[in-house]
Chains A and B, each alone.
Chain A
């Protein structure tokens, strides 16, 4: 059973478009992290959200943690080819970042 479901699984868009990736669970998390991974490399931490309802912005990326801390979303404005990659959400149920539960992943491709 996958505790964290991401949607969509795949997304192919053109440069300049906006998109939203969702990360949903029935479990409550102490914190949730978003990563981006490029082929052949390790995941790179983008952001950590810890408070229900929290919104964090990282340039064109906006991250939101659900009020009940069961879900999260990542919104990208004016996507660029450099945004291409695998986006992973990962939830921490214990507050110690041990045994992170990873989402199923969203593969994003941004074309010119």
Chain B
């Protein structure tokens, strides 16, 4: 299957600072990537859809000024959590859309554990 990487895998930051998370599609080009957030023992919650060369589309209730998304190339999308607070601590996962010919699939990165102290 297609491979998606995320960096860093874990990050601890102080309240008020910003953190950038990178998501890369390693062996395919992805015009569309997605950012999810997952709370303990829960399913995935879509935060935003990242489109190469255009503005991201945010889900209802997600602050676009707090969660900055940039999709500057066909293989890289970044999520920056600005002025992080402890309540932003979570598991953030990206995925990239892959065309399987007759249909599309999403492949996920390994996730980034963010802890804000």
Contact B104 A41 (CB under 8 A): no
Q: Which of B32, B91, B109 contacts A98, CB < 8 Å?
A: B32
Contact B106 A100 (CB under 8 A): yes
Contact B106 A42 (CB under 8 A): no
A43 proximity list for chain B (CB < 8 A): 44, 93, 108
B105 proximity list for chain A (CB < 8 A): 33, 45, 48, 97
B1 proximity list for chain A (CB < 8 A): 45
> How many whole Å from A2's CB to the nearest CB in chain B?
9
Interface residues in B72-93 by Cβ distance below 8 A to A read 91, 93
> How many whole Å from A106's CB to the nearest CB in chain B?
10
Give the contact-size bracket for chain B.
20 to 34
A1 to B86: give the CA distance in the assembly, Å.
28
The A/B interface has a contact count, at CB < 8 Å, of 64
Contact A105 B103 (CB under 8 A): no
Contact B102 A97 (CB under 8 A): no
> How many whole Å from B59's CB to the nearest CB in chain A?
8
Judge whether B42 is part of the interface by a CB distance below 8 angstroms.
yes
B residues with a Cβ closer than 8 A to A are 1, 4, 6, 32, 34, 41-44, 46, 49, 91, 93, 95, 97-98, 100, 102-111, 113
A residues with a Cβ closer than 8 A to B are 30-31, 33, 35, 40-45, 48, 50, 88, 90, 92, 95-100, 102-105, 107
Interface contacts beyond A40-B113, A88-B43, A92-B104: sample of 12 additional A-B pairs, CB < 8 Å, sorted by A = A31-B104, A40-B91, A41-B110, A42-B95, A48-B103, A50-B102, A97-B103, A98-B32, A98-B49, A98-B104, A99-B49, A100-B106
- 10 pairs from A and B in contact (CB 8 Å cutoff): A31-B103, A33-B105, A41-B110, A42-B110, A44-B108, A88-B44, A92-B104, A97-B97, A98-B49, A100-B46
